[in-house]
Amino acid sequence: MSTIDVPVSHGRLEALLWTVEQPKAAAVVCHPHPLHGGTMHNHVTYRIADAFRKAGVSTLRFNFRGVGASTGKHDDGRGEVDDARAALDFLQHQQPGVPLLVSGFSFGSRVALQLTIEDPRVERLLLAGVALRAFSFGLLRELRKPKAFIQSDHDEFAALDDVRRLVEETPPPRKLFVVPDSDHLCTDRLEAFEQVAAEAVTWLLDAPPVNLRRSGLLVPPAH
């Protein structure tokens, strides 16, 4: 693993690049809310990246603007999507010719969703800790790309039944993986999270791709 700088319009993003030999894919991993202590070193964010690495996927974690040594200041999610896109640009240059994935935890999952909707390079999406009580995830109902969800059964930011309902309303391929007896931050349940994350990553990598040539990135509008 190496610490690197990702160039952005406001200066640079502090990042960690974790490469594997002959990668199956490459993934950007986005951390939780910067105003609530979220950084790329968050224990859930780290374990998502580690699950990808163990599955043969190179990963890039980075600090959003204004966090750690990254320049800039918090932008309520708008500029953070630009940061994630810059991280994807950098990762694609470092790991050319492999499928690109995006993942995120909590606030980072909302940023990851927005980037996946906007950027056709992103082929698959992994969302952890979907905080339905803090952010809107309605765009998921329009996204055909393969997507995996990891959710704690006692997450204080989203009732599990509400997350199940959202997943069911999301176009396939999609699958929900549940961390049992766990809160949003997986307090004292990190080993359980690791096991679930490994299952989710394996499923996501094996999920059949969707032909988007006719329908575009989104579900066609109803007539």
- What digits encode the pLDDT tens for the residues 96-131? 999 999 999 999 999 999 999 999 999 999 999 999
Q: In this predicted structure, what is the pLDDT of residue 108?
A: 97
DSSP H or E run through 167 = helix 160-168
Cis peptide before 173 (omega within 30 of 0): yes
Tokens of 209: 């791709």
Candidates 3.40.50.1820, 3.40.50.2000, 3.30.450.20, 1.20.1530.20; CATH matching 2-206: 3.40.50.1820
Q: In this predicted structure, what is the pLDDT of residue 2?
A: 78
What stretches of 9-155 show up as alpha helix (H) in DSSP?
A: 43-54, 78-94, 107-118
Q: In this predicted structure, what is the pLDDT of residue 32?
A: 97
The helix/strand/coil state of 204 is helix
Q: Where are the domains of the chain?
A: 2-206
pLDDT (tens digit per residue) in 25-42:
999 999 999 999 999 999
Q: In this predicted structure, what is the pLDDT of residue 212?
A: 52
Neighbours of 63 (CB within 10 A): 23
How far apart CA 179 and CA 186 sit, in angstroms, is 8
Low-confidence ranges of the chain (pLDDT < 70): 211-223
Q: In this predicted structure, what is the pLDDT of residue 209?
A: 84
pTM (predicted TM-score): 0.92
